[in-house]
């Protein structure tokens, strides 16, 4: 579904961050339009996750600004940014291990953002949580919904992390390496969920290494290398550029 109105949802201007002597993100700027699926790609260590941490408030930038719907949100705390409607997954997926899978989702449902959406009261959150799990592909009322989250297989852990992200009903969803470790079959069942998000008008940012699957769904792609944005445009155009090809030479990118 092509979007006609190009509203800038997220504006990144001259964002920079160094850790000690290491320049993790160097003067990165780009705009994210509403309803886009943006891919952020680059070799390992190119600053992709740091960029996401800067946007979502887990790390404070040394320089630059982040604006969301025109509002400057640079350096705000993560929970305030989440309440604005920006949610993210984590690359190292760690659920709340001791509690059942669906109870994991009660935590985001408890957030102040959700006051209007769930009815409040003990029972309501449980059923909303189970509905959410069904949306990401947990079979309803199967044993896997009730298993302690720590014992779930990897594919279900990724779905649970995605569900945790979706539970906030965010408008901007940042997925950090969602596809990593998934088999082709699991990918085939997760990609329709992302496409459904796009249909609903959400904006999605995906950090990925699996370029073939990403390029099928991404509208636009930003390439990072050593903290700098070296390319920004449609996937096919970007992969033709020389410096992008050079950045990937020698690393494990799949063409």
Residues that bind another protein (CB under 8 A): 56, 58, 77-80, 82-83, 87-88, 90, 94-99, 103, 106-114, 122, 125, 164, 167-168
Q: In the complex with another protein, which residue's Cβ is closer, 49 or 225?
A: 49
Please give the Cα distance from 26 to 32 (Å, whole number): 18
Alpha-carbon torsion 239, 223, 212, 82, what sign?
A: negative
Q: In the complex with another protein, which residue's Cβ is closer, 53 or 74?
A: 53
Minimum CB separation from another protein for residue 230, in Å?
Answer: 28
Contact 161, 90 (CB under 8 A): yes
Minimum CB separation from another protein for residue 114, in Å?
Answer: 8
Minimum CB separation from another protein for residue 112, in Å?
Answer: 7
Q: In the complex with another protein, which residue's Cβ is closer, 116 or 250?
A: 116
Q: In the complex with another protein, which residue's Cβ is closer, 113 or 159?
A: 113
CA atoms within 13 Å, Cβ hemisphere of 248 = 19
**DSSP state, residue 31:** E
Minimum CB separation from another protein for residue 249, in Å?
Answer: 34
Minimum CB separation from another protein for residue 80, in Å?
Answer: 8
Minimum CB separation from another protein for residue 219, in Å?
Answer: 25
Contact 43, 225 (CB under 8 A): yes
Q: In the complex with another protein, which residue's Cβ is closer, 161 or 208?
A: 161
Please give the Cα distance from 150 to 140 (Å, whole number): 19
CA atoms within 13 Å, Cβ hemisphere of 88 = 24
Q: What is the DSSP string of 125-186?
A: HHHHHHHHHHHTTPPTTSHHHHSBGGGS-HHHHHHHHHHHHHTT--SEEEEESTTTT--HHH
Q: In the complex with another protein, which residue's Cβ is closer, 98 or 188?
A: 98
């Amino acid at each position: 579904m092509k979007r006609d109105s190009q509203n800038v949802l997220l504006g990144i201007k001259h964002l920079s961050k160094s850790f000690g002597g290491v320049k993790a993100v160097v003067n990165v700027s780009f705009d994210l339009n509403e309803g886009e699926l943006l891919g952020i790609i680059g070799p390992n260590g190119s600053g992709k996750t740091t960029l996401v941490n800067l946007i979502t408030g887990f790390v404070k930038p040394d320089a630059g600004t982040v604006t969301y719907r025109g509002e400057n949100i640079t350096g705000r705390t993560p929970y305030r940014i989440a309440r604005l409607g920006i949610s993210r997954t984590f690359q190292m997926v760690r659920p709340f291990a001791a509690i059942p899978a669906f109870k994991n989702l009660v935590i985001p449902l408890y957030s102040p953002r959700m006051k209007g959406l769930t009815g409040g009261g003990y029972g309501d959150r449980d059923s909303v949580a189970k509905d959410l799990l069904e949306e990401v592909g947990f079979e309803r009322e199967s044993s896997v919904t009730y298993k302690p989250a720590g014992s779930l297989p990897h594919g279900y852990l990724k779905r649970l992390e995605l569900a945790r992200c979706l539970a906030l009903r965010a408008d901007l969803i940042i997925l950090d390496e969602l596809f990593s470790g998934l088999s082709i079959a699991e990918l085939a069942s997760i990609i329709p969920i992302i496409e459904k998000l796009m249909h609903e008008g959400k904006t999605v940012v995906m950090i990925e290494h699996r370029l073939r699957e990403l390029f099928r769904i991404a509208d636009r792609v930003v390439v990072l290398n050593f903290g700098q944005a070296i390319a920004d445009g449609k996937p096919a155009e970007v992969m033709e550029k020389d410096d992008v090809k050079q950045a990937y030479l020698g690393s494990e990118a799949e063409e």
